[in-house]
């Protein structure tokens, strides 16, 4: 089995969507960067790679048996962890002793290049995978990948934050409140908005937020989180500077 030594990872926990497992250039100063002493590398079919990257379902038993107890971090053995690639993408995962990829990380560029070098003479491995959500389309807290195309980490976080606030509005079922926020988005449609039911107004606002990301989206997010301590903290966290990225800590 192929293995790599001294691999830097930045774990993102509980992420079912690959777009939330940030590439190296989006790593932040406050992220916790870890060094893995030894980790196996698997060259797999694209279906298997995408299953690991974009799902939180049980991994094939054959794959787990192949990588069992082969990863070492500071002298400690991790039960199920590996780097996988389909020849195009690269991702590391750790199951935290379970059977699903609870922690995922991209690699730094030179380690990605090393992975591609290691697999040049290898044949792809195939494992049976069975998705619990074969037609995955996303939900309020986890928008479909199409909603995140082209967005950087900060924009993705702000968009998901706005979705969290929309969920709170949905739970509140306050028609006046949803009319207010929809009017903030469409100030020239006030008369029409006042005639909408709560559900229609909420769905209209949701569609506005779901499509793309712009300064208007960002300004709206800034306003709608005001007065909510947790949401304000998430706003501040998303707006941390990326100037001093993690690379300065691992050179």
- Where is the domain boundary, 136, 159, 184? 136
Separation of first and last alpha carbons in the chain = 28
Residues 6+ apart with CB under 8 A from 215: none
Residue with tokens 């991209």: 106
Question: Residue 142 has what pLDDT?
Answer: 74
How many domains, in total, are found in the chain?
A: 2
Residue with structure tokens 């100030």? 187
Joined tokens for residue 11: 């774990």
Q: Based on the domain organization, do 44 and 55 belong to the same domain?
A: yes
In a domain, 151, yes or no: yes
pTM: 0.84
User: What is the C-alpha to C-alpha distance for residues 203 and 88, in angstroms, rounded to an integer?
Assistant: 37
| pLDDT at residue 244, as a whole number | 47
| Domain co-membership, 74 together with 146 | no
β 81-85/138-139 pair status: unpaired
Q: Are 122 and 229 found together in one domain?
A: no
Residue 147: per-residue pLDDT: 87
Same domain? For 90 and 196 the reply is no
Q: Taking Cα atoms as reference points, which of 190, 230, 238 lies closest to residue 213?
A: 238
| Same-domain pairing of 126 and 7 | yes
Verify that 86 and 10 share a domain, yes or no.
yes
Other CB atoms closer than 10 Å to residue 6's CB: what's the count? 10
Residue 176 structural domain: 138-238
Is the domain of 174 the same as that of 100? Answer: no
Q: Would residue 92 count as lying in a domain?
A: yes
* Predicted local distance difference test score (pLDDT) of residue 241: 57
Answer yes or no: do 36 and 146 share one domain.
no
Q: Which residue has the tokens 């926020």?
A: 181
- CA distances to 144, 162, 206 from 199, rounded to whole Å, are 21, 17, 10
Full pLDDT tens readout for the chain, 251 residues: 899 999 999 999 999 899 999 999 999 988 999 999 999 999 999 999 999 999 999 999 999 999 999 999 999 999 999 999 999 999 999 999 999 999 999 999 999 999 999 999 999 999 998 766 555 555 566 788 888 988 999 999 999 999 999 999 999 999 999 999 999 999 999 999 999 999 999 999 999 999 889 999 999 999 999 999 999 999 998 887 544 444 444 54
């Amino acid at each position: 089995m192929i293995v790599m030594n001294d691999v830097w990872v930045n774990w993102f926990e509980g992420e079912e969507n690959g777009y939330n497992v940030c590439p190296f250039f989006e790593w932040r100063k406050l992220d916790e960067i870890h060094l893995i002493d030894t980790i196996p590398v698997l060259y797999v079919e694209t279906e298997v790679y995408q299953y690991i990257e974009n799902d939180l379902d049980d991994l094939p038993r054959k794959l787990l048996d192949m990588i069992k107890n082969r990863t070492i971090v500071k002298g400690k053995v991790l039960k199920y962890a590996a780097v996988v690639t389909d020849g195009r993408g690269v991702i590391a995962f750790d199951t935290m002793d379970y059977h699903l990829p609870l922690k995922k990380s991209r690699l730094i560029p030179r380690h990605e290049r090393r992975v591609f070098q290691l697999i040049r003479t290898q044949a792809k491995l195939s494992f049976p995978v069975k998705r619990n959500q074969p037609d995955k389309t996303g939900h309020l807290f986890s928008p479909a990948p199409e909603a995140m195309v082209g967005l950087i980490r900060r924009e993705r976080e702000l968009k998901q934050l706005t979705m969290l606030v929309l969920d709170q509005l949905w739970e509140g079922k306050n028609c006046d409140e949803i009319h207010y926020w929809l009017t903030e988005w469409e100030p020239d449609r006030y008369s029409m908005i006042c005639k909408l039911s709560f559900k229609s107004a909420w769905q209209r606002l949701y569609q506005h937020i779901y499509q793309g990301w712009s300064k208007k989206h960002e300004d709206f997010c800034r306003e709608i989180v005001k007065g909510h301590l947790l949401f304000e903290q998430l706003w501040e966290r998303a707006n941390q500077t990326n100037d001093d990225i993690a690379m300065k800590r691992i050179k």
